[in-house]
A and B are shown apart, each in its own frame.
Chain A
């Protein structure tokens, strides 16, 4: 334990994702010995990100205005909505160039171990967007892990009475790799989940 300010900084850094106590200490002492103008620039960047970056009031993607770039784009289709966990997932789907509809960012996934239930996610807002019936297909693109699957199931059950098409991304072997390099668990499960063509 150090005294005062330096320990405060270590504690704050240690709260960041992926930063353990050792790294936090190293970063803190790096900052302590760094040039004051560099440190000021970092401090300003930290402050600005909170002041200027907001969340789109429609889809909850990151935005620099009331609405994000995608929600403002008149060329996007209004009848398909892709539900993702985080803004970085929007970026990932956009990179595919496959999707021309709109997004809804939940802000996470249902995760009781971390105390996150449906009320902590933008689910009420999603239901409000679906209410007028203009969305015909809902794509559930939450992560293909336990929490993402549970969230997808939850949403699928919730929107079932609305009668719109609900789809889930296919998961399986990574594309671009050779079959022989897939590990046996992944390949084994892909085999089990094979489909007719």
Chain B
């Protein structure tokens, strides 16, 4: 899969711009703040309907404009598909697929598969557990879209269960008497069954990712210690089949019920879990240096890319501001790892930072414009 064409209208710093790409490596070069990341951000948006930098759409629309348009042309197995998104903050996105309007913007998901590494990904290592849970869940959905439904169901049940616990808690606190908790058993049943489905999938994913993470970290890090991951849950995760996990979750809910009623919220389940990242014997969070943390974050993205690739999905890989952070040896090793990518988009301020093996097509980015060099 590769992106053949990207056209932006009033997206970020671009009034209008068209870039034609080819398979293989493309290097986007330009000084800081000129609009390189904006380009990969636009493609990331086509891929996930989300920006990797901002939670709301308003900053994506060029200052002074009311809406932005991203048009892209994706080639997959020799067929070309156009994906068009119109972003208007406060309104639902409008989308076209192959020229025809689609009912919901999310119908375009899957048209462009992309793995993006950006400096913001440092949060995967240093941020809250939610960052790492999202990393796992997004990857689950990329492999099997039905997990979007599984996760949505789990979150809905969780919200209802929390609402029930919360009203009981408030009633008790304000002296308004006790509230009926008779339906808690019902929510436990559903939380355990949806939770087990999500949990089983995450565990299977972690097992598949492990070797890829170690390999990628070994290539991009300065070379001390092996990178590993381990899924962390308050619930026993052995054996990892759905039935056992459901039973384990049910048991954990029974056990924690007194404290849940006491605190008015759900304290066990996949929404409280974490992915432990380790370097050698030590956890990365709190121990790793800035450089090690950054390498770990990059390894997580590269592993996701490799995993999708071994499963027959060949996503586009985008590396934003990566090579300036690496010394010559690590640049070469990274080039070896990703050199065979179907399409690789690289941004950098200094073209010479990119190893010769990856210097494919070169694009000069200047204020609001992109030119093939």
Contact B190 A149 (CB under 8 A): yes
A160-197 contacts to B, CB under 8 A, are: 183-189, 191-192
B161 touches A112 (CB 8 A): yes
Of A145, A150, A192, the contact of B186 (CB 8 Å cutoff): A150
Say yes or no: B156 contacts A146, CB within 8 Å.
yes
Chain A residues with Cβ below 8 Å from B157 are 146, 150
A3: interface (CB < 8 Å): no
Complex interface: chain B residues within 8 A of A183 (CB): 107
Asked if A150 and B190 sit within 8 Å, CB to CB, the answer is yes
Candidates B145, B160, B161, B187; contact of A184 at CB < 8 Å: B145
Q: By the criterion CB–CB under 8 Å, are A111 and B160 in contact?
A: yes
How many chain B residues have a CB neighbour from A under 8 Å? 25
Contact status B145-A185, CB under 8 Å? yes
Minimal beta-carbon separation of B60 from chain A (angstroms)? 25
Interface size on A, residues (CB 8 A): 25
Interface residues in B308-364 by Cβ distance below 8 A to A read none
Is residue B148 within 8 Å, beta carbon to beta carbon, of the partner chain?
yes
- The complex places the Cα of A188 from the Cα of B159 at a distance, in Å, of 24
Residues in A neighbouring B163, C-beta threshold 8 A: 112-113
Chain A residues whose CB sits within 8 angstroms of the CB of B144 once the complex forms: 188
Are A113 and B186 in touch, CB under 8 angstroms?
no
A185–B183 touching, CB < 8 Å:
no
A153 touches B146 (CB 8 A): no
Q: Choose the segment among A27-35, A42-50, A75-83, A115-123 that binds chain B (4+ C-beta atoms closer than 8 Å).
A: A115-123
B180 contact from A111, A119, A150, Cβ within 8 A? A119
Question: Within residues 133 to 158 of chain B, which ones have a CB less than 8 A from any CB in chain A?
Answer: 144-146, 148-150, 153, 156-157
The verdict on A106 contacting chain B, using a C-beta distance below 8 Å, is no
Are A185 and B149 in contact, with the CB atoms below 8 A? yes
Would A192 and B190 count as touching, CB distance under 8 A? Answer: no
A117 → chain B, closest Cβ, in Å?
Answer: 6
A154 adjacent to chain B (CB < 8 Å): yes
Contact A184 B146 (CB under 8 A): yes
On whether the beta carbons of B186 and A117 are closer than 8 Å, the reply is no
| Interface residue SS majority, chain A | helix
Say how far B167's CB is from chain A's closest CB, in angstroms.
7
Asked if A86 CB lies within 8 Å of chain B CBs, one says no
Q: Is the CB of A112 within 8 A of B189?
A: no
A contact residues around B167 at 8 Å (CB): 112, 115
With A185-B145, A188-B145 already in contact, the answer to whether A113 and B160 are too (CB < 8 A) is yes
The B interface is mostly helix, strand or loop, or mixed, namely helix
Give 1 or 0 for each of A80-112: 1 = CB within 8 Å of chain B CB.
Answer: 000000000000000000000000000000111
Asked if residues B107 and A118 are in contact (CB atoms below 8 Å), the reply is no
Residues on the A chain within 8 Å of B148, using CB: 185
B110 within 8 Å of A (CB atoms): yes
Pick the contact of A188: B107, B146, B161 (CB < 8 A). Answer: B146
Residue in chain B with minimal CB distance to A145: B156
Q: Is B243's beta carbon under 8 Å from chain A? A: no
Distance A115 CA – B160 CA, assembled complex (angstroms): 10
Inter-chain contact B183/A154, CB cutoff 8 Å: yes
CB contact under 8 A between A117 and B183, given known A112-B167, A153-B190, A188-B149: yes
- Point out the residues of chain B lying under 8 angstroms from A157, CB to CB: 185-186
How far, in whole Å, are A155 and B160 apart by their CA atoms in the complex?
17
Near A by CB (< 8 A), chain B positions 3-24 give none
**Complex: how many Å from CA A113 to CA B145?**
28
Given contacts A117-B183, A118-B182, contact A112 B190 (CB under 8 A): no
- Pick the contact of B153: A110, A119, A146, A186 (CB < 8 A): A146
Nearest neighbor of A156 in chain B, beta-carbon distance: B186
Which A residues touch B185, using CB under 8 A?
157
* 28 A-B contacts (beta carbon < 8 Å): A110-B186, A112-B161, A113-B159, A113-B160, A113-B163, A115-B167, A117-B182, A118-B180, A118-B183, A146-B153, A146-B156, A146-B157, A147-B160, A149-B190, A150-B157, A150-B186, A150-B187, A153-B189, A157-B186, A184-B110, A184-B145, A184-B146, A185-B148, A188-B144, A188-B145, A188-B146, A189-B150, A191-B146
The 9 closest A-B pairs by CB, nearest first: A188-B146, A112-B164, A112-B163, A184-B145, A146-B156, A185-B149, A113-B163, A154-B186, A153-B186
Q: A118-B180, A153-B190, A157-B185 are in contact. List 10 more A-B contacts (CB 8 A).
A: A113-B159, A117-B180, A146-B157, A146-B190, A183-B107, A184-B110, A185-B148, A188-B145, A188-B146, A192-B146
Chain A contacts to B: CB under 8 angstroms: 110-113, 115, 117-119, 145-147, 149-150, 153-154, 157, 183-189, 191-192
